[in-house]
Amino acid sequence: MHCSYHAADRCRSCAWIDQPYDRQLAAKEAHCRALLAAWPGVEWLEPVQSAGAGFRNKAKMVVGGTVAEPTLGILDAEGLGVDLRHCPLYPAALQAALPVVAEYIARARIPPYEIKARRGELKFVIATVAEDSGELMLRFVLRSTEAIARMRKALPWLQAALPAARVVSANLQPVPMAVLEGEREIVLGTDDSLTMRVNGLPLHLKPRSFFQTNTRVAEALYAQARAWVEQRAPDALWDLYCGVGGFALHCAAPGRAVTGVEASVEAVASAERSRDEIGLPAAGPGAVRFVAGDALAFARDAGAWPPLVVVNPPRRGLGADLAALVERARPALVYSSCNAESLARDLRAMPSLRPVAARVFDMFPHTAHYEVAVLAAPG
């Protein structure tokens, strides 16, 4: 992939962009294999490749510049805005939307936040696209509510200029720290959810929901988990850290009891909405249910465990306490990880489980980052 920003030394986020893609992919698999070398006999499936450009469904843009001429991209070493709105990582729908977003910022007179001076309002714009429909979610991360009234007044212009903007919201992040977003979200329009279709299933994202940034590779990840679950054919499973229900909904089957656990109440509501739209049962035999709560607390208090558990933890991994509970219960485990180092640490803490199959998923081309899924079985 050629990137004019990289060539001009304006952005170095894609540190591996000068390497041929096959070499990137081979290096990621080699890194993952080395971390899991303590478990010989793992069946390594072919890595899942990504498109080289236009693969990101989300743009997290730092706002710089001025009210009249805002920049959307990153900040340089001096804290000045570097505009990256035509970054080739983003699909055409996102690239086309960002100039309109910049004009909306100017019309609503939202001053970009200045880190050194600690003044201004707008810190980030987070834009997400549902690639099947082209619909957008636009989030504006603000220091305070100072600009909200002006944003509401300019909203009809934005909706007319960018009809695909399904969800528009303001997130309040008042602290002067390198934190992307805050706890409070103010929905400015009438819609509060963006529908992403993944392998034909509707997943509903509210503004603060997590979703993988590479939709096509995410489809392959969910499909692989479903295939491994079908191989084991459990009558029940848990999906811990289930988010908006991607793994749980993909792995549901007639007569199979599925329980998804997620700390976010909003994400659980989205998962339940998807379940109901698909027509999966919410009660009775083979019910698909979702619980808002801490994964560790749920696992500790649940009593009997199912024969299979799916986990998709944050980068820190399961942690010693949850890994100890898994080790004691000894279910089959489908582990989706965005950090192979914490994955390897968790596996060492669960010696009764043996990895039998693994696959690298290249969610993030041109960088050292990747995701990996592992099927581990007792014995």
Instruction: Count CB atoms within 10 A of the CB of residue 275.
Output: 23
Mean pLDDT of 17-41: 97
List, for residues 181-234, the tens digit of each pLDDT value. 999 999 999 999 999 999 999 999 999 999 999 999 999 999 999 999 999 999
Residue 294 lies in a domain: yes
Catalytic site residues?
A: 338
Say yes or no: 368 and 233 in one domain: yes
Cα dihedral 111, 114, 119, 125 sign:
positive
List, for residues 279-308, the tens digit of each pLDDT value. 999 999 899 999 999 999 999 999 899 999
Say what the pLDDT of residue 267 is.
Answer: 96
Task: Tell me how many domains the chain contains.
Answer: 2
Question: Which residue is it, tokens 């390497």?
Answer: 19
Residue 37's pLDDT band, with cuts at 50, 70 and 90, is very high
Say yes or no: 231 and 115 in one domain: no
Q: What integer best gives the mean pLDDT of the chain?
A: 96
Say yes or no: 232 and 327 in one domain: yes
Mean pLDDT of 229-242: 98
Say what the pLDDT of residue 78 is.
Answer: 85
Mean pLDDT of 148-169: 98
Residue 143 lies in a domain: yes
Straight-line distance from the first to the last Cα atom of the chain, in angstroms, rounded to the nearest whole number: 44
List, for residues 272-287, the tens digit of each pLDDT value. 999 999 999 999 989 9
pLDDT at position 379 over 90: no
List, for residues 95-117, the tens digit of each pLDDT value. 999 999 999 999 999 999 998 88
Residue 205 lies in a domain: no
Name, in order, each residue with C-beta under 8 angstroms of 267's C-beta and a sequence gap of 6 or more.
Answer: 206, 209, 210, 242, 243, 244, 245
Domain around 72: 58-191
Please state, in angstroms and rounded to a whole number, the distance separating the CA atoms of residues 50 and 73. 23
Mean pLDDT of 146-175: 97
Say what the pLDDT of residue 42 is.
Answer: 97
Say yes or no: 38 and 130 in one domain: no
Please state, in angstroms and rounded to a whole number, the distance separating the CA atoms of residues 171 and 167. 13
Say yes or no: 33 and 133 in one domain: no
The last residue of a domain, from among 162, 191, 220:
191
Mean pLDDT of 29-50: 97
Say what the pLDDT of residue 176 is.
Answer: 86
Residue 176 burial (10 A CB sphere; 0-12, 13-18, 19+): exposed
CATH for 263:
3.40.50.150
pLDDT at position 177 over 80: no
Say yes or no: 153 and 228 in one domain: no
**SS3 call for 333:** strand
297 touches 290 (CB < 8 A): no
Look at 178 and 278; give whichever has higher pLDDT.
Answer: 278
Say yes or no: 228 and 336 in one domain: yes
pLDDT at position 326 over 80: yes
Say yes or no: 231 and 99 in one domain: no
Say yes or no: 241 and 308 in one domain: yes
71 touches 83 (CB < 8 A): yes
pLDDT at position 79 over 90: no
Say yes or no: 102 and 146 in one domain: yes
Say yes or no: 260 and 323 in one domain: yes
Say what the pLDDT of residue 296 is.
Answer: 97
Among residues of the chain, what percentage have pLDDT more than 90? 95
